[in-house]
Amino acid sequence: NQVPGIKLNNGTLMPQLGYGVWQVPDDEAERAVGTALEAGYRSVDTAAIYGNEKGTGKALANSGVPREELFVTTKLWNGPSQRWGRDEVLRAFDDSLDKLALDYVDLYLIHWPRPMRDDVLAIWKTFEEIAASGRAKAVGVSNFRPADLERLGEASALVPAVNQIELHPLFPQSELRAVNARLGITTEAWSPLGQGKELLTLPAVASVAARHGRSAAQVVLRWHLQSGHVVIPKSVTPARIRENLDVFGFELDAEDMAALDALGSGPSAHRIGPDPAVFD
């Protein structure tokens, strides 16, 4: 397996490239995750709200890959407008482990900060307890802004291992990446391919791709890897699942990187997903 590991702040290694399963229905997840594991992926990113932890768990169990070679991430969905406390969090975590049929996950994330609710400190305290129990090897957050990260310090000295955020050449989040780096938090990119939409059709991307005889998706994934992000591209198409992993046999040069970096301040730059400041 040629995927490099990134060392998280708790000392564990996370594969720099993994497989994301958002929008994969539970009854397709077993086949899709199975295809990814067969292709050589060892890291899988799911979430309670994706509704496919069962199918994902079946694929993990049937893969024959030893548990210690897998890196499984799931996320807490502190569902609709309600203040979450310790009991709700522990129940949700147990439920995820049950569905995945695992006795631990490698990474457990708070899915959204929901700053309007004021329950993040109680949730983070409980995450610390889950980490101490060994049932999550690492704990972290997703969609946290600098202010949300700062608040966690009021609950505990534990620094999130990972902040999983929307990140791709059209939404490069330079400031947030710098804050993550300063705090020792690994940046993980969600929707790394810009959800396969406009980003993959841009002439700047096509020209870098043509220069390397690679696909648009492959050069965008190289941009992430060479920028130091963890990436979790999603596809249910076997050929694309394999293509997205086949990104370790070439390298972008400084000029290619600069061409892709420039997209972030160009006319097409935009966020695709919800804004964490208001998402509830």
Q: Mind telling me the catalytic residues?
A: 50
**Token pair in block for residue 276:** 């964490």
On the CB side of 162, how many CA atoms lie within 13 Å of its CA?
Answer: 34
| 79 makes contact with ligand NAD (CB under 6 A) | no
Strand partners, 247: none
| 196 makes contact with ligand NAD (CB under 6 A) | yes
Scanning 5-13, 127-135, 195-203, 204-212 for contacts with ligand NAD by CB under 6 A, the matching segment is 195-203
| 273 makes contact with ligand NAD (CB under 6 A) | yes
Give the separation between CA 10 and CA 220, rounded to whole angstroms.
29
How near is the Cβ of 84 to ligand NAD at its closest, in Å?
17
How near is the Cβ of 259 to ligand NAD at its closest, in Å?
19
What would you report as the CA-atom Rg of the chain, rounded to the nearest whole angstrom? 18
| 235 makes contact with ligand NAD (CB under 6 A) | yes
By beta-carbon proximity to ligand NAD, the closer residue of 35 and 157 is 35
Among 14, 17, 21, 29, binds ligand NAD (CB under 6 A): 21
Among 243, 245, 247, 256, binds ligand NAD (CB under 6 A): 243
CA distances from 181 to 9, 24, 160, 163 (A): 11, 31, 12, 10
How near is the Cβ of 13 to ligand NAD at its closest, in Å?
19
Amino acid residing at 190 = W
Strand partners, 142: 164
How near is the Cβ of 33 to ligand NAD at its closest, in Å?
11
Among 5, 9, 12, 22, binds ligand NAD (CB under 6 A): 22
Among 152, 208, 232, 259, binds ligand NAD (CB under 6 A): 232
Contact of 194 with 200, CB cutoff 8 Å: yes
Nearest partner of 3 among 233, 161, 211, 167, judged by Cα: 233
| 200 makes contact with ligand NAD (CB under 6 A) | yes
Angle at 166 between CA 160 and CA 238, to 5 degrees: 105
Backbone phi and psi for residue 108, each to the nearest 5 degrees, phi listed first: -120, 125
- Footprint of ligand NAD on this chain (CB under 6 A)? 20-22, 45, 111, 142-143, 164, 190-196, 200, 215, 217, 232-235, 240, 243-244, 273
